Amino acid sequence: MIDVQTLTFFAFSGLLLLSAGGVVFSRHAVSSVMFLILCFLCSTVLWLMLHAEFLGLALLFVYVGAVMTLFLFVVMMLNVKIDATKARLLKYFPFVLVLGGGLVTMLWLALGPDAFSIKKTGVLAFSEHYNNTRAIGEVMYTQFVIPLELTAGILLVAMVAAIALTFRGSQQRRVQDTPKQLMASKANNLRIVSMASEHEGGE
Amino acid sequence: MIGLAHYLVLSSMLFVISFIGIVINRRHLIVMLMCVEMMLLAVNMHFVAVSQYFHDISGQIFVFFILAVAAAESAIGLAILVLLYRCRQTIDVESIDQLKG
Amino acid sequence: MGIHEITLLTIFAPLLGAIVTGLACRVWSNQAAHSMTIGGVAVGLMSALYLAHWTLIAHPGFSDNWTLYTWASYGSSHFDVGFLLDGLSAIMLVVVTFVSLLVHIYSIGYMEEDPGYPRFFAYMSLFTFAMLCLVLGNNFLVLFFGWEGVGLVSYLLIGFWFKKDSAAEGSLKAFLVNRVGDFGFLIGIALLLSYVGSLDYAEVFTKAPALANLTISVIPGVVWSLPTLICLMLFIGAMGKSAQVPLHVWLPESMEGPTPISALIHAATMVTAGVYMVARMSPLFELSDVALTTVMLIGSTGALMMGLVGIVQHDIKRVIAYSTMSQLGYMMAANGVSAYALGIFHLTTHAFFKALLFLAAGSVIMGMHHDQDLRHMGNLKKYMPWTYAVFLIGTLALVALPPFAGYFSKDAIIEAVFLSTLPGAKYAYVCLVLGAFVTSFYSFRALFLAFHGKERMSTHQRDSLHESPWVVRVPLLLLALPSVIIGAVLVEPMVYSHAGFLSHGEITVLPNHDVMTTLHHHFDGVWHLVEIAPQGPAFWATLLGLGFAWIAYIKAPALPNQLAASCKVCYQVLVQKFGFDWFYQEVIVKFADSTSQVLYKRLDMGLIDGGIVNGSGRMVAYVAGLMRRLQTGYLYHYALIMLLGLVAMVTWFMLRHYHIG
Amino acid sequence: MGTFLIANKVLLPEMLVFLMSLLTLMAGVFLPTRMRESSALVFAQTALWGAIALAFWGMLAGTVTLFSGTVVVDHLAFTLKVLSYVTASGVCFYAHAYLKAMKMPVLEFYVLTLLSVLGLSALLSANHFITLFVGLELMSMPLYAMIALRRHRSDCLEAALKYFVIGAMATGILLYGIALLYGATHTLGFPDVANAIPVAMHGHHLLMSFALVFITIGIAFKLGIVPCHMWLPDVYEGAPTIMTMMVATLAKIAALGMLLRLLVSVMPALFAEWQPLLMVLVVLSLFVGNVTAVKQANLKRLLAYSSIAQLSYLLLGVFTGTTAGYSAAMFYLATYVLTTLAAFALIMCFRREDGEEAVDIADYAGLFQHHPWHAVMFAIVMFSLAGMPPFVGFIAKLQIFQALLQTGPFWLVIYALLLTVVAAYYYIAVVKVMFFDESQTPLRKVSLGLGNGLLTLNALGVVMLGVQPSGLLTWLSL
């Protein structure tokens, strides 16, 4: 008999794999992005089923909220026309499929029910007072303070790098240069041009 | 009942799909980057599941860091991508073959 | 000055000359350049003579093993820069510095108009330094340093006329073939280092007997005894350096370099480094019959085969080059039957007469305006009497007619191989006796073609033919003298004396390999040796070769006319004589000629040179091209390779896990 | 409190580097324009040399484990850290004039370099997979970005993109390997994992083998060996030379650090698995690297293939599974880094007539006639890479082979040495072109500023360490 949990798991994991396929195979980059967002949504559900609330929501916020928006933004900005002829799959697609199938099978052998059956791992059980966020927070700033600091460094790198790479320099900005304004003088701003006087004989 | 094996196999499938995605994709570079994100999602799935089933929180901490790092990574990746597009007016995977041999 | 200081002086005087000349080569005159380097080498020779006198005559059995400084040490192993002066190295010292000095002097005349004159002298002195390091080192590290050093300078000097394409290619080939040798040599050294834990000769030789029972798995399933493997690896190095079959292909190519270089490096000194090394490593080689047999077989095969190839060469330098390879084969064969002293003795005599031959050939080449083709020469004795005289002396020494130098060494080698009990010794003996015939044939062929017979040069060449200047002739004469007497002088102390130069532990021979003791019993004074010459087959083989060469290249040109005029019935004797001539001309010469041609074209040029050396080169290049094409530049291909690798490895582990395959 | 003081002391180098990178960033904002670039160099050098001094000071405390075992400072971390600081300092010196000439943003370069070194340093000190991962990313991301800093050059951007995509993939694979290992051991601290592996061998042997494969592939990317070598020639060729230098040195230090940490310290129980795995990788990479290099016309590409080969010799040392082998690999890495620095610095010295960098081997024809000293330095570098005495490359190879001969298999020695013959061919071919070929159009030499003197020192170092390697050998032995 299938309980709700099982049903939910299979529904969402099926959807997850389908949308993963969608990311790979869809014709347009925009739909790929959408499929990826769907992937993340399904994962969030699955993680919530695991009682990993904090990460599930973080995934939603960080990925769907920020990263995928960035992707979408870039896709829209570049707006690349895909040549229809190139949309075909590669010649060696069947070969890759065999490779992938083999890999999944072998991983199944190592990870499947033989290795991690319920008998061996037990059911997912937490005490009533389990608080996922607290559990994470308890070690995040104690044991893992060094990686946390380093992650700050990574974010700094991302910021510096992204700015250094894409910032096109000041020549495109229109800024007020106060010293320059104050230094303005008649001599270098005003040009007196001598011209022949207007013809007066028109009257 | 849903056991750990379900999650692990699911994550392995997701991993292989994203790997295949990188290998067979010859259109949009950006899809490659998305496949990398998906690969990391598979890894995260694995970590979260093992962490929860064995009550070891460090797996989830790892996921947290992976999320943060992956976000930063995609920022840099997209920056390079945009630059390349400006330079060549294309981000076809097949056109990125100036360096070879 | 103590012995240490004089040893250092011997080594570093040439280096000093090389460095100063090399640094100042742009601003100095030619005069200053050659004075500096010749001065350096002359100092080297003087001190080498002193050392030789000290070691060999004043204090027989003197051996001085000392460390200059420790290069590197870590853990239990230490690398030293140290020197070993004993009878063996003293003999080599004198040979190297003497030939080097004469070649330096000779080069004043030979390189006169070359724009790279100072550079040339700097390289030659540098070479001398490296060679001295090789000879004097007391451990494998210094040996290897000298070994690579001489290789490097040889490479620079072959490519000296680098504007000639063939020279640049010749130098690259020389370098590569030597690398193949060096790689074997390095494995040998590395094996010693890891099993003995030291690179010091003394230590290695003391501990070597303990290795005798160790074995090593070369490839899964094939187990070799350790000493055999070490010796074979070291011998591969010797094969590369001493141009043994099949690693000889670089030596003919190296003749593209200036002739003094051919004399110094590719005849007298560097190419004998392998022979010296094998003799030096005698305590190791004695441990392995397999290695000794290999050395003997390869040496004797080369002695015959390279001689045969020499018959069909038209370039005068190449004839001598092939003769060098053949003679190196003799030396190696001597080492192979544990007659190391004979190997070194032949090395010594050979150094003098081969340098003489090369320099004389250089003199001819100068006279002929750098035309080296024997077919364009003829009757040069009229124009270049001095050169003719010394070339003749060199040839007589080379073909080993008594009492010239080569006789004493070569005949004894043939004798020693005859006495050997190693498997295959009979084959080696036959090869060497036939080799004596072949040597004689091609040597006199070259002599007759160049100096006798009809004049075949162009009128332009004939008009300007002249004897070489004194600066060229003096070294020739100074080399001609030892080429005559050195054998007779040295044969007793080096080979037949129980208290001789090399009988104080310089070389080690196990009793069951000892052929020299038997040879000692036959010895009864130098002149007795000359008297008994006709008792050996080699003497007659030599004379036969001389006779055939004479018939074919002096007598034969008139042959057709005489045949036409002769009466078949009346002049039976005459006919028979001509019949013999005909038989000789049509069967023997043609047969020998075609065999040599086949050897040269098919085996030497075709299989070994083209097939193995160039072939492997081509294969590498082909595969490289293929690999390059794999590098398509497409990201998805790169990812695919990763996926492939991943899946392959995962599959492998899965199969391993389930014990499949 | 005591722990905190020790923590302070041994982590001071990293703190200094982080602080100085921030200061450099601030310098870009607050200092007048003309002082910015030189002050950035001063900051960077202060950070690196200060970090070296502090690292030596901190090492007096011996091996220290910190933050509930997420960070460790031991001899391995210490030596490789010092090596990476020295390397980065050299890179900064070489970079200064080059950056201006190539119109690359100078300040960002120094900031990113310092942050990258910080990441590397954290990676080397990692005692926990999380620290390892974060350090690895902090090290790699600046490299991706810096390659793209010549942002108008499409080849640089292509190189950056390829490096980035393959790098991100490799990170994914590495992480998946870690995840698999986590699945088997339920723990992420190195000592815990090392303890848990023998226990988990019973139920999860296959799983751990797979984890090993994934992790090895992840490291193989950093090492640039088969099957993750394809990106390497493209990146070496396309990247600005200063970045090629960095990828060729800093990333390799990280790779060896990871290799020794993960395979040797964390997975010694899986030795029977990873040894054959490394053997296959070595055999393939030696072949691919050495053979493909033969046909290269581009010097940077040639050095790329040569690096594939060089790194597989290093891997041979790890393959042996003995302390002697690991020490040999450490020494090999140090010498490789030293020689590589000189090689790329030499390339940075020359421009073609049109102002482009001279990267084709043919450009260097007859270099000896016009710039003899540089040609000699090139020869020193090439001979050292080819493993000839008396240069340091010889000692390094000797160490490796000596260690390998102790454990065997013998055919691997023969195979590796045979390929050194092939290697000698292409290295010598370069020297031949420089010394013996006719020069077409003479190259223009540009000054490296402070780097000029350093280059000479660097090339002489290749000789000096070959003649006197004892000190470094002792210091680097594990």
Give per-residue pLDDT as tens, C230-253: 999 999 999 988 888 778 878 887
Q: Are residues A2 and A64 in the same domain?
A: yes
Q: Predicted ipTM?
A: 0.90
CA D179/CA D201 separation, integer angstroms: 16
Confidence band for A203, pLDDT divided at 50, 70 and 90: very low
- CA D420 to chain C, closest CA, distance in angstroms equals 8
Find chain D residues with C-beta within 8 A of B75's C-beta.
none
CA B44/CA B60 separation, integer angstroms: 8
CA B60/CA B52 separation, integer angstroms: 8
CB contacts < 8 A, B to D, total 121
**Tell me, what's the pLDDT at C2?**
84
Q: Are residues A77 and A93 in the same domain?
A: no
What percentage of residues in chain A have a pLDDT greater than 90?
32
**Tell me, what's the pLDDT at D78?**
92
Find chain A residues with C-beta within 8 A of D148's C-beta.
165
Q: Are residues A33 and A71 in the same domain?
A: yes
What percentage of residues in chain C have a pLDDT greater than 90?
27
**Tell me, what's the pLDDT at C465?**
81
Instruction: Say if the Cβ atoms of D142 and A161 lie within 8 Å.
Output: yes
Greater pLDDT, C521 or C236? C236
CA C262/CA C75 separation, integer angstroms: 44
Greater pLDDT, D232 or C74? D232
Instruction: Say if the Cβ atoms of B101 and C633 lie within 8 Å.
Output: yes
Closest in A90, A92, A103 to C650, CB measured = A103
CA C27/CA D448 separation, integer angstroms: 29
- pLDDT(D289) > 60: yes
CA C240/CA C251 separation, integer angstroms: 10
CA C320/CA C447 separation, integer angstroms: 11
Backbone φ and ψ of C222, nearest 5° = -110, 115
Contact B75, A162 (CB under 8 A): yes
Cis peptide before C423 (omega within 30 of 0): no
- At C456-480, the pLDDT tens digits run 888 887 887 888 888 888 889 989 9
Kindly state the helix (H) or strand (E) to which residue C385 belongs, with its residue range: helix C385-399
Closest in A115, A121, A155 to B53, CB measured = A121
What are the respective helix, strand and coil percentages of chain C, to the nearest 5? 75, 5, 20
Contact C124, C36 (CB under 8 A): no
Instruction: Say if the Cβ atoms of B96 and C631 lie within 8 Å.
Output: no
Cα separations (Å) of C490 from C304, C342, C346, D462? 26, 11, 11, 46
**Interchain CB contact of B93 with D (< 8 Å):** no
**Tell me, what's the pLDDT at C504?**
78
- pLDDT(C564) > 60: no
- pLDDT(C211) > 90: no
Instruction: Say if the Cβ atoms of C631 and D233 lie within 8 Å.
Output: yes
CB contacts < 8 A, A to C, total 19
CA D405/CA C607 separation, integer angstroms: 33
Work out the mean pLDDT of chain A and round it to a whole number. 83
- pLDDT(D319) > 90: yes
Greater pLDDT, C427 or D421? C427
Q: Which domain holds residue A105?
A: 89-125
Instruction: Say if the Cβ atoms of A113 and B61 lie within 8 Å.
Output: no
Torsion-angle region of residue C11: left (phi > 0), alpha (psi -120 to 50) or beta? Answer: alpha
Mean pLDDT of C298-322: 87
Specify if A98 maps to a domain: yes
- At B7-59, the pLDDT tens digits run 999 999 999 999 999 888 777 888 889 999 999 999 999 999 999 999 899 99
Contact A108, B11 (CB under 8 A): no
Greater pLDDT, C625 or D15? D15
Mean pLDDT of D341-355: 91
- pLDDT(D355) > 90: no
CA C375/CA C377 separation, integer angstroms: 6
- CA B1 to chain D, closest CA, distance in angstroms equals 20
Specify if A148 maps to a domain: yes
Residue A168 has which token pair? 């096109």
**Tell me, what's the pLDDT at C163?**
61
Instruction: Say if the Cβ atoms of B23 and C639 lie within 8 Å.
Output: yes
How do beta strands D444-445 and D64-66 pair?
A: unpaired
**Interchain CB contact of A183 with B (< 8 Å):** no
Greater pLDDT, C235 or D428? C235
Chain-centroid distance, C-alpha C485 = 22
- pLDDT(A37) > 90: yes
Q: Are residues A110 and A138 in the same domain?
A: no
Q: Are residues A71 and A16 in the same domain?
A: yes
Mean pLDDT of A21-35: 88
Mean pLDDT of C14-28: 84
Find chain C residues with C-beta within 8 A of B92's C-beta.
none
**Tell me, what's the pLDDT at C307?**
87
**Tell me, what's the pLDDT at C612?**
66
CA D459/CA A63 separation, integer angstroms: 49
**Tell me, what's the pLDDT at C571?**
45
Query: Which of A102, A125, A148 is the last residue in one of the domains?
Result: A125
Residue B52 has which token pair? 């929860």
- pLDDT(A85) > 60: no
Nearest CA in chain C to A104: C647
Q: Are residues A8 and A62 in the same domain?
A: yes
| Amino acid letter for position C338 | S
Instruction: Give the three-state DSSP class for A82.
Output: coil
**Tell me, what's the pLDDT at C577?**
46
Closest in D129, D173, D186 to B54, CB measured = D186
Residue C574 has which token pair? 């005459």
**Tell me, what's the pLDDT at D146?**
92
Contact D143, D116 (CB under 8 A): yes
- At C153-188, the pLDDT tens digits run 887 777 676 566 666 666 666 777 777 788 888 888
Instruction: Say if the Cβ atoms of D470 and C73 lie within 8 Å.
Output: yes
Nearest CA in chain C to A107: C650
- At C369-417, the pLDDT tens digits run 888 888 888 888 888 889 999 999 999 999 988 888 888 899 889 989 9
